[in-house]
Amino acid sequence: MSTKTPIRFLDGGLGTTLESPPHNAKFKADSSLWSSDFLVTSPRTLSGVHRAFVEAGADVLLTATYQASFEGFAATKKAGTPESALNKDKENKRSSGQDDSATYSKEEASVVMRNAVSLAKEAFASSQCAGSKNIGKHVALSLGAYGATTKPSTEYSGEYTPEHMQTVEGLVDWHDQRLEVFRDDEATWNDVNYVSFETLPVLKEVQAVRRVMAKHNTTQHFREWWISCVFPNDDLTLPDGSPVSAVVEAMLTNRGDQGQRPWGIGINCTDIKKLDMLLHQYEAAAQSILDTDDTQDASARRAQWPWLVTYPDGAQGSVYNTETQQWEIDPEMKKKGPQRPWHEELAQIITKTAERGRWKGILVGGCCKTTPDDIRKLRSQLATIESDAYFLESG
């Protein structure tokens, strides 16, 4: 195995890019679909954003399915349905015990969600850099936390309701149903290269998705996949209070019926100021689990390590209000003055991480408030740094 760490590039914040010029999207506060709503209202706009990230140097595109769920589509009127007709239809169907024909059935929602995979794949083929440079370009199926699909969203608090969604079993059932939308359609699954469980705020959800992948990610249809958690707390714990050591143990331990071990583990939608400290804690926890055989040489031990997947937000002092679905300036951060450019800070963190030589590889990108230009600058920054610790796999 090469001593250099391979680096691949993920895209940036899809929803927040849609909110920015030239798209200027206004997401509805009463909708839990957020960017997934564009699968219905403007797939062409989604395609344009995907292409922009490809042309900025992204090797991996996340699908517009982060907030997609049966519940969200069931509460969403079909394109062209007047509000008055929607309300009348809901009232009639509710009284008769039938499904809402003005909103999306499970079958209809499944078709819309699967189309997100096609849109991401087509973005590679239709981008200005299509051709040989698209070798090694991949689609990652984005599956957000259960809390990302609720209204208001609870992926930053982990305060899940109803009560059965606070159990591993309840979360297994919920994630199982959503993954089946993609896994049970052969053409769609063939276009999926990675599966991403993102922004998980509770330890039980980490345990749940491993069980789901053990069921669905069989040898014949195997896909590399990752688990990524969110750390909004100042003490570097999950929203449910779990420390990093417990999080990494839940991700990687193979004792008993733990489910399938992921190809990658990581951190997303987290303040970049916390990232370096979190990565050191991730590495210490992973080392205690993986580097237990002293008879192996360093290369053999490293082969046991997963990929690191990290895509911090680029909020630069802004805080997301889950009630209003708006970004608000943090007064305390404003007092500290201008922030260091996001791409420079992240490039330095990734370089130092690669120099420690732990991870099998690094997949790096951005989350909320990061744009195609941020990804372009990040890739350029890492390409110009003289380091023997890593190499850029493509582009």
pLDDT in tens, 347-365: 999 999 999 999 999 999 9
Q: What is the structure's pLDDT at 331?
A: 65
Q: What is the structure's pLDDT at 33?
A: 86
Mean pLDDT, range 183-206, rounded to an integer:
97
Tokens 């062209």 sit at which residue? 80
pLDDT in tens, 241-263: 999 999 999 999 987 778 999 99
In this prediction the pTM is 0.90
84, pLDDT greater than 50:
no
Mean pLDDT, range 307-315, rounded to an integer:
95
CB-neighbour burial class of residue 190 (10 A; exposed 0-12, middle 13-18, buried 19+): exposed
133, pLDDT greater than 70:
no
81, pLDDT greater than 80:
no
> Per the structure block, which two tokens stand in for 373?
């230009």
Closest CA relative to residue 182, chosen from 230, 240, 143? 143
CA distance 354 to 387: 9
Q: What pLDDT band is residue 88 in, cutting at 50, 70 and 90? A: very low
Mean pLDDT, range 279-303, rounded to an integer:
83
Residues sharing a CB contact under 8 Å with residue 168, sequence separation 6 or more, in sequence order: 204, 207, 208, 211
Q: What is the structure's pLDDT at 1?
A: 43
Residues sharing a CB contact under 8 Å with residue 68, sequence separation 6 or more, in sequence order: 33, 36, 39, 109, 112, 113, 116, 149, 178
